[in-house]
Chain A
Amino acid sequence: MLSIENLSRQFNGRRVLNDISLSLQNGEYLAIVGESGVGKSTLLNLIAGLDTPDGGRLRLDADDYARLDDDALTHLRRNKLGFVFQAFHILPHLTVLQNVALPLWLLGTAGAAADAPAQQLLDAVGLGDRGASWPRELSGGEMQRVAIARTLVHRPRLVLADEPTGNLDPANAAKVLSLLAERIHAANAMGILVTHSREAAATADRILYLTADGLGA
């Protein structure tokens, strides 16, 4: 379970996040909706361990990681977190299957031991026959499906998705969003979707709104 208590972050004296608290049960998929500039990305970066809060606590299961150094955070991300980006971030010089296997590589698993779960997830996102393809041969929607597969390949505790459909047309966006929700549930992971779109947020189990005043339902 993820629990956030009194989290705050300021940049150059400007308070961006103030006293944010939140908790997420195992298997729960949460959407955070907010306008541009309210600190959505800052909050996500803090949860992802890409940024360090000025105050408050961050706890994933038993680990408090609000005060860890870069190496420890990197270790945490590698083992327990999964990411889906707006810009996909599919490496162009790796095949589709290799891209999916990449998180396992980082954990020191390579070869068949990495390929088997990667293939399983590719099957799950409906791209089982595209493992040997190069990313340039994929459409945007397909790329994000690859990214979803990659996110879950190492069985993360928490999946973070930042505007995953920002670069997709509405039809593809809907497919990707429902796939993401389905896969997070299938993996029994926790998920946080950050978006400005209420329609997108509707695919999650629960929706919280981030405003200048804080986080609320």
Chain B
Amino acid sequence: MTLAPVFLGSLGRRRAATLFSFVAIVLGVALGMAVQAVHQAALSEFARGLRFMAGEADLQVVGPRGGFADGVYAMLAARPEVAAASPVIEIEARVDGHPDSLKVLGIDVFALAQVEPQLMPMAVPATDRLAPLREDAIFLSAAAQTAFAVKAGDRFAVQMGNQVVPLRVAGDLPGAADDRSLAVMDIAAVQKYFASAGRISRIDLRLAEGLTVEAARVALQNLVPSGVLIEAPAAAEDQAANLSRAYRVNLTMLAAMALLTGGFLVFSAQALSVVRRRSEFAFLRAIGLARRRLFTWLIAEGALVGLAGGLTGAVLGHGLAWLMLALLGGDLGAGYFSGLKPQLEFQPETTAIYVLLGVLAGAAGAWLPAHEAATVAPAQALKAGDSGVLAGQLAGRGRPWRGVALLLVALAACALPPLNGLPVGGYLAVALLLAGSVLLLPAAASRLAALLPRRGPVPARLAAARLGAAPGHAVIAAAGVLTSVALAAAMAIMVSSFRESVDEWLQQILLPADLYLRVATPQSSGYLDAELQARIAAVPGVGSVRFTRHESLRLAAGQAPVALIARPVSADAHELPLTASVQRTAGATAIWISEAMRDLYGWRPGQLVDIPLAGHMARVQVAGIWRDYARQTGAVLIDLGDYRRLTGDRLANEAAITLAPGTRVRELADALTATAAAGALQVAYPAQIRARTLRIFDRTFAVTYLLEAVAVIIGLAGVAASFAALAAARRREFGMLRHLGLTRRQIGWMLAQEGALAAGVGVLGGLLAGAAISLVLIEVVNRQSFHWSMGLHLPMASLVLFALGMTALAALAAVLAGRQAMRQDAVLAVREDW
């Protein structure tokens, strides 16, 4: 460490370049850290919630959305494998005047004590020991009592579907005091009031001692009806993690690209610094500094910047995560964990990894320059007055063939299947595309320089000549720009394509109607019963009405439930956003599956499959595939008539209504909501649904805009850093030009044009690389992680604007960076030794 002042002191002398490298690494690490920390917080909160609900259960019996027959409970509870079985009905209820829904668990307090003691209700006052059994008693957690502004003894009217049930707050849930939306009632009362007689949502099982969970699961699974699955409580955790993993990995990927750009910046800063310190290194080598030691110290310089950036980034990342959690929620607005209030936790291992990534970016950026510096022969470097040669050696010598080769490998990587559900090939392709483009950059720069006119004002001619003669410097600046522009452009194209596709899809997937009517809590088992359906159809002013039933299917243990949508569908389903040709056999019942079903279950058009409907397996034919952006875990669409014939289920969740001629929409809406209890039914309009969906979409992608902005800042920082470093090195050149009679303004112009040229090369390359990356994102990454396709939509205007803005900002950055050198007494600088 005795040599620390020799090297680390040098970092302080190149304050601007060091600062930019530092900032780039800080941003990269901070973003990655933030995305990771937020997601980890959300996921662990989600898992904690699941674990909390599961209590001491070894296995959980789950079924479709409408639940399953409570006879399954009687059968399983009597099994010798089962030590204790706790039946649960879970409903989502509303309370008049409150925006938040209340999760009401119908439980058997006696079974609860053995399997989920954490949910035990406590009566207030404690004297009524039968309180947990009373039909009008509801127990709210302390937090929920606060949220709904009630206390023990208060009357509390709960609304579920079109029922309003007058209840009484009988006490609280001491084991779940913090859950803001949890309530517990007796299971019999829930069955009675919330019209789910004979049905339960879930059974939590504790197994007899000495049994392996898996063996018991297999044995019990054989006993339950079709569509009811038995799984370990951890399965739901895995499902949630899988569901959001793809989204998280995409964001982490973006952060990694920011970090990569930071690495580039360290590279350019170090490369330029090595150029400038060439004779210094030669001197040190001459007086006895070993080659390896020089190399190690130069890597250490980069690593130190990386370490500082990594540490600062980790701190900033946690701050950012906190902010994101507060503003966007645990899923960064993507809707995977709605209703969760995750707490940020400091994770030492993860934090250490991100700090290490910062160090690695710094060290990797310094690698090539350090290598070049260490191999320099000191005898020559000591004599050479000019330091410009090395820059050309570093970056000027293009490696176009290697670049082309990398692009070809990228193309091949796109064909890789997803690994463990992750689009690894896609990510590889993105990285290779970036690397290949950077390698092609020098060739592109000299090509561009050759195209530039050799006329015009002196500063312009000087700038063009410099790009042609020493493209190395420009390339170093342009590499950072290319990376950041590619990243930003790719994201912009992907998001715009996605948004356009979602918009088109919305218009296709919604049943054509003037208004929609649905039960106020669509997530629960609230529904329109046959009688209410008849009343709705009979409302004057209703032209036609079509009903939709939402159910869910459990097709495989460990997989999230699949949405089942029953609604009127024409024979060829032309009204659906189909992505493949229709294949139907006469006589077979048709189902229409989303793209995710094809990817997750391997179903193909024309195939006959069995799906569990109403506890039995029904053989149906996959008639076609449609695009679905709403349900990542898959959706099956079936004609309502077929569904009712197969299940006997006459209920519906939504109605799409067209107006009879001469009817006013508002009046009809009022008349429709009046068919059930106040607040039980909700009216929605097509435009409203579209606007709301797009608003959610924009919120989801808000964080990607942030990442784009960061990428742009890093790119600009790269331009500024390299020009700041160069400007210092070119003080004598500027001094000479001033001697020759160039004004300070002209030198400024020259720098601006050099900056614009360097950035221009980077921007052009970045746009091309970005377009290619966006194709990879759309066709490979999204297809593989979300199982949906989309059309390509280029946001031309914004891209052009962005490119011009980026170039102009780069020019400005170059001028600002060079100002320090111009301000110094340039005339004297000529005489100064290097």
Enumerate chain A interface residues (CB-CB to B < 8 A). 41, 45, 48, 50-51, 70-71, 74-75, 77-79, 81-83, 85, 87-89, 91-94, 98, 102-103, 105-110, 167
Chain A interface mostly: mixed
Known: A93-B9, A106-B3. A77 touches B287 (CB 8 A): yes
Cα–Cα, bound, A41→B283 (Å): 15
Q: Which residues of A lie under 8 Å from residue B2 when comparing CB positions?
A: 105-106, 108-110
Q: Closest approach, in angstroms, between the C-beta of B526 and any C-beta of chain A?
A: 73
Q: Are B288 and A103 in contact (CB under 8 A)?
A: yes
A63, B279: Cα distance in complex, Å: 28
State which of A74, A91, A108, A167 has its C-beta within 8 Å of the C-beta of B291: A74
Q: How far is the CA of A106 from the CA of B833 in the complex (A)?
A: 25
Q: Which of B367-399 contact A (CB under 8 A)?
A: 377-379, 382-383
A95 — nearest CB in chain B belongs to which residue? B5
Choice from A70, A74, A87 contacting B834 with Cβ under 8 Å: A87
CB distance from A104 to the nearest CB of B (A): 9
A98 in contact with B288 (CB, 8 Å): no
Closest chain A residue, CB of each to CB of B13: A93
Alpha-carbon separation in the docked complex, A94 to B378 (Å):
21
Q: List CB contacts (< 8 Å) of B1-32 with chain A.
A: 2-3, 5-6, 9-10, 12-13
Residues on B with beta carbons closer than 8 Å to the beta carbon of A75: 288, 290
The answer on a CB contact under 8 Å between A41 and B286 is no
Residues of A within 8 A of B377 (CB): 50-51
Contacts of B504 in A (CB 8 A): none
Least CB separation from A70: chain B residue: B291
Contacts of A85 in B (CB 8 A): 283, 382
Distance in Å: Cβ of B687 to nearest Cβ of chain A: 66
Name B289's contact: one of A74, A88, A94 (CB within 8 Å): A74
Q: A83-B283, A91-B6, A93-B9 are in contact. List 7 more A-B contacts (CB 8 A).
A: A74-B285, A77-B287, A83-B286, A91-B9, A102-B6, A106-B3, A106-B287
Interface centre among A85, A93, A94 (most CB of B within 10 A): A93
Q: Which secondary structure dominates chain B's binding surface?
A: helix
- Determine if B100 is an interface residue (Cβ-Cβ < 8 Å): no
Taking the nearest CB of chain B, how far is it from the CB of A90, in angstroms? 9
Is the CB of B154 closer than 8 A to any CB of chain A?
Answer: no
The distance from the CB of A176 to the nearest CB of chain B, in whole angstroms, is 15
Q: How far is the CB of B780 from chain A (nearest CB, A)?
A: 48
- Chain B interfacial residues counted at CB < 8 A: 25
Flag whether B503 is at the interface (Cβ < 8 A).
no
Interface residues of B (CB under 8 A from A): 2-3, 5-6, 9-10, 12-13, 279-280, 283, 285-291, 377-379, 382-383, 833-834
State whether B833 touches A167 (Cβ < 8 A).
yes
The residue of chain A having its C-beta at the shortest distance from the C-beta of B283 within the complex is: A89
Nearest-neighbour CB distance to chain A for B149, whole angstroms, equals 66
Chain B residues positioned under 8 Å from A108 (CB to CB): 2
Question: In the complex the two chains form, is A83's CB within 8 Å of B287's CB?
Answer: yes
- The answer to whether B383 touches A41, judged by C-beta atoms less than 8 angstroms apart, is yes
Instruction: Give Cα A74 to B289, complex, Å.
Output: 6
Contact status of A78 and B287, CB under 8 A, knowing A51-B379, A89-B280, A93-B9 = yes
Complex CA gap A166/B448 in Å reads 43
In the complex with contacts A87-B833, A93-B10, A105-B2, A71-B287 CB distance below 8 A: no
Cross-interface CB contact of A106 among B10, B288, B378, cutoff 8 Å:
B288
Smallest CB–CB gap between B3 and chain A, Å? 6
B9, A103: Cβ atoms closer than 8 Å: no
B residues near A41, Cβ cutoff 8 Å: 379, 383
Question: Do the beta carbons of B5 and A94 come within 8 Å of each other?
Answer: yes
- Collect the chain A residues with CB atoms within 8 Å of residue B10's CB: 93
Instruction: Name the residue of chain A whose CB is nearest to the CB of B382.
Output: A85
14 A-B pairs within 8 Å (CB atoms) are namely: A41-B383, A48-B286, A70-B291, A74-B288, A74-B289, A77-B287, A77-B288, A78-B288, A79-B288, A83-B287, A88-B833, A103-B288, A106-B288, A167-B833
Once bound together, how far apart are the Cα atoms of A108 and B1, in whole Å? 9
Interchain CA distance A41-B282 in the complex, whole Å = 15
B134 to chain A, nearest CB (A): 81
CB proximity of A112 to chain B, nearest CB, Å: 13
Cα(A70)–Cα(B290), bound, Å: 8
Which residues of chain A are near B833, meaning CB under 8 Å?
87-88, 167
> B3 — which chain A residues lie within 8 A by C-beta?
105-106
Find chain B residues with CB under 8 A from A109 CB. Answer: 2
Task: For B280, list chain A residues within 8 Å (CB).
Answer: 89, 91
* Chain B positions within 8 Å of A83 at CB level: 283, 286-287
Tell me the nearest residue of chain B to A77, going by C-beta: B288
Q: Which residues of B contact A107 (CB under 8 A)?
A: 288
- B286–A77 CB distance below 8 A: yes
B286 engages A93 (CB within 8 Å): no
Is A87 a contact partner of B289 (Cβ separation < 8 A)? no
Known: A87-B834, A89-B279. A50 touches B378 (CB 8 A): yes
What separation, in Å, do the CA atoms of A83 and B9 have in the docked complex? 23
- Cβ–Cβ < 8 Å partners of A77 in chain B: 286-288
Instruction: Find out whether the CB atom of A98 lies under 8 angstroms from the CB atom of B287.
Output: no
Of all chain B residues, which has the CB nearest A107?
B288
Q: How far is the CB of A111 from chain B (nearest CB, A)?
A: 8
A78 to B283, CA, bound (A): 12
Q: Which residues of A contact B290 (CB under 8 A)?
A: 71, 74-75
Residue of A nearest to B833 (CB): A87
Residues on A with C-beta less than 8 A from B5 are 93-94, 98
Q: Are B12 and A93 in contact (CB under 8 A)?
A: yes
Chain B, Cβ-Cβ closest to A87: B833
Q: With a CB–CB cut-off of 8 A, which chain B residues contact A93? A: 5, 9-10, 12-13
> A48 contacts which chain B residues (CB < 8 A)?
286, 379
Give bound CA distance, A50 to B3, whole Å.
Answer: 21
Contacting pair B13 A92 (CB below 8 A): yes
Most buried by B among A81, A106, A110, A167: A106
Is there an interface contact between B9 and A94, defined as CB atoms closer than 8 Å?
yes
Closest to A103 in B: B287
Measured in the bound complex, the distance between the Cα atoms of B285 and A53 in whole Å is 19
Nearest-Cβ distance from residue A44 to partner chain B, whole angstroms? 9
Residues of A within 8 A of B287 (CB): 77-78, 81-83, 102-103, 106
Q: How far is the CB of B4 from chain A (nearest CB, A)?
A: 9
Give the residues in chain B near A74, CB-CB below 8 Å.
285, 288-291
Q: How far is the CA of A91 from the CA of B277 in the complex (A)?
A: 10
Closest to A92 in B: B13
**Contact B291 A71, beta carbon cutoff 8 Å:** yes
Closest 8 CB pairs of A and B: A78-B288, A89-B283, A93-B9, A110-B2, A50-B379, A45-B379, A77-B288, A105-B2
Q: State the CA gap A88–B832 with chains docked (Å).
A: 12
* Interchain nearest-CB distance for A116 vs B (Å): 15
B669 CB to nearest chain A CB (Å): 76
| Alpha-carbon gap, A83 to B279, bound state (A) | 14
